[in-house]
Structure 1
């Protein structure tokens, strides 16, 4: 199911949970004027289809001396999928995407300190097909939120 096949109720449920992922289904149902069982069923379907994942975000600046960084990786086309698969299994990787532009892959990592960030960057450089890795340390995250785009009538 793609975002375009979600119905208006699905979008409203997602919006409710984006405001507060711990919001009780009973409250979501009341806010949307539908039975709680409908919310429970819809959320399970959205989760099963990988559209919604309810989780906790940590604030890296509150973790002490943790180092948050973005790695912009260029990789040979034939090694792209293998690099993504490998990087996706590393516990330090918090975000991983294929990009278009000056890098092929964007990797956000959270490391203990400068030494572990350096070591991780060297591990990335040693992967097969990696052509270049540029690292940008993030000093402070001001906003991180993935929200569904507004409906056409809201734009």
Structure 2
């Protein structure tokens, strides 16, 4: 499904849930002046189409001894999908995307400590097809939010 298949009500419902993913459908319906059943049906459809996923984000700096890092991996084209599938199943991997640039995978990981981060890096480097991995440790998350594209510049 392309973003063009969504209508303005879909986007308004998404924005309401982006502000508060636990917001009651009744409140969203009242805010948007539509029946609660409409909101419930739209949210279910958006979830089934994998347009919308409601989840909780944690603040790594509040979790105590957690190491958050961004890894950029250069993976051989013929091994790309297999490496994505493998990394996508690892519990330390928080975010995984294919990118264009000097690397072709962006991997965000959360580990207990420096030792577990080091072991994870070695494990990733040993995967067949992984040619190189560069690492940037994140020390503070200032903003994390996945939103719909803005309709116009806001700055």
State TM-score, norm by structure 1: 0.97
CA offsets 1:76-101 (integer angstroms, 9 cap, x no match): 11000000000000000000000001
Aligned mates of 1:76, 1:153 — CA distance in 2: 37
Equivalent in the alignment of 2:72: 72
1:59 is displaced (CA, Å) by 0.3
State TM-score, norm by structure 2: 0.97
Equivalent in the alignment of 1:31: 31
Equivalent in the alignment of 1:123: 123
Give the unaligned 5+ runs of structure 2: none
Give the unaligned 5+ runs of structure 1: none
CA offsets 1:23-63 (integer angstroms, 9 cap, x no match): 00000000000000000000000011111111110000001
Aligned mates of 1:2, 1:154 — CA distance in 2: 24
Over the residues paired in the alignment, what is the CA RMSD in angstroms? 1.4
Structure 1 runs, 4 residues or longer, greater than 4 Å off: 152-155
Secondary structure, counterpart of 2:50 in structure 1: coil
Alignment of 1:77-116 (within 5 A): 77-116=77-116
Equivalent in the alignment of 1:147: 147
Q: How many residues align?
A: 155
Aligned mates of 1:153, 1:25 — CA distance in 2: 29
